[in-house]
Structure 1
């Protein structure tokens, strides 16, 4: 009886150990399979949440969860951070100068005219010569030159009666021009002048490696719009030769910088705040003489030219911090402030705008 019970216990122990060993072998094989995947299987793909795109690139969001693969080949949208606030001068122009200039430049005589009188008072250019379109000889011919030897002057601009604010004088752009006499013997003398213009304007030379798309002479409308909005610095070349000065056509003789309105406002702010007050012998920009006729090209162009002395270049904060880095001495330059005004009294209105921005003007009789 005892032998049969012991035999039963041994049989049960053997079956238990066999099942334990088989389960241990099964667990070992399963863990080995998880630890060492086959060499032929590809690595698991990275989850889309682990790929962080750059901040200036906008990835299109997939419409469904299964379109992750198709969104990887979809076009990306590049974002450009623009100005976050208005310039100090731009805000001053919109809040303070614009109402005052609108009041000063308003012509009450136009509001008294009837509709027929306003139509009759519209500017007409009789001096513009055109070809007869019915004449086959005039087909595909260039425009006829005007009569006389004098250049055409801009006629009066018809006011906008629906929105008078569109006729308000506004700054369009600022052009800086400087000529270097040493560039006649060595064109490398223009490099310090280009560096100074880059420092005081923050622009890049046309077609440089810093910004290859800036100022390229392409006919693409998009590129032209971007170049006009960004501005550029270019090299001025001689159009004709002068034997007495050893100048040949195409020789680089100067540097020009074109500043659009946002950059021009910043430049005028620095000019009026930091540069002009530090020039000891500077009393102000001279006004034109009273004998200047109102119909002269200078009075109808809407452009105010300001001449700067050679020492003014070293008074800009951008060049003063490292003035010793420039090999040449200061060179005088000209500032052309171009506005949207044309016609009679256009330059006078442009000068009123600059006077409101802080540019000092003085009469010729008041200069000591």
Structure 2
């Protein structure tokens, strides 16, 4: 694992290895604020070269799931500081994933029970919210309202403020979540985005504009070397339809992000991304650090890094049950199985109680 476990310079951030802990929603913040278990959870996994936090809503409107910790109040900022301090004390580095779900939400968790917002007024996806009896459960997302240009400007500023809050909270940088069917991808996708204004889906430039406005605002606030972007070509999560010019779309976005010299591009590895050859095309086009996430084994990631196809490899589920995933990889120790029933919600069980491996003898 010589390549995977080698050090790496990510912008201004020095990483001890090329293993990234992928962003994973765990739904443990009952009141939307990180707590002592949040700090313990991330500190236990700080041997990763880089941790990308779970999705962090930039506003109350940005939430689509109960119990996710935001970064829009001073109380949340102060609570996240205890998390980043705990990670740094263990020698780790951590970026905050800035998140707005867009239409993938429900009126019961929106401000004043209002409608979620999106590029257009077309419903899709499922939210984790309150039913009519006040019980928390999975629900079909509510009918959204289309954002007007003033609303878009407000959202861009909220991303900017969230980035500033993240740096105040001690994060080493931020990742803009533009993947998995959430708000920014709801603008990128031309089948969904049928707007007829400068943010509409008629051209590559117009449907990329919201993402690039957000990136420009965040870069202006905290610097390009502290800013990453996550994308998911061929994504169908959140009821996102596929379309014919996916490769052209993401190569256009990659070119635009190259010009902005951001710290990294993080790709979710849908099978089609690799099978179609788009990953290789993006690697040739992208000038900066490339992260790939999604079902990689450590051995596969090591080969891909050695071959120059990516720079950093992100692992999700293995980190849930193996807080010492890096040490297990280095020593060829077996991985512990994960309890999938405790992925979301609950307390310490299935969250901070997975033990590190102790070698027999």
Q: Which has the higher strand share?
A: 2
Relative to the length of structure 2, the TM-score reads 0.21
Relative to the length of structure 1, the TM-score reads 0.20
Q: Which has the larger radius of gyration?
A: 1
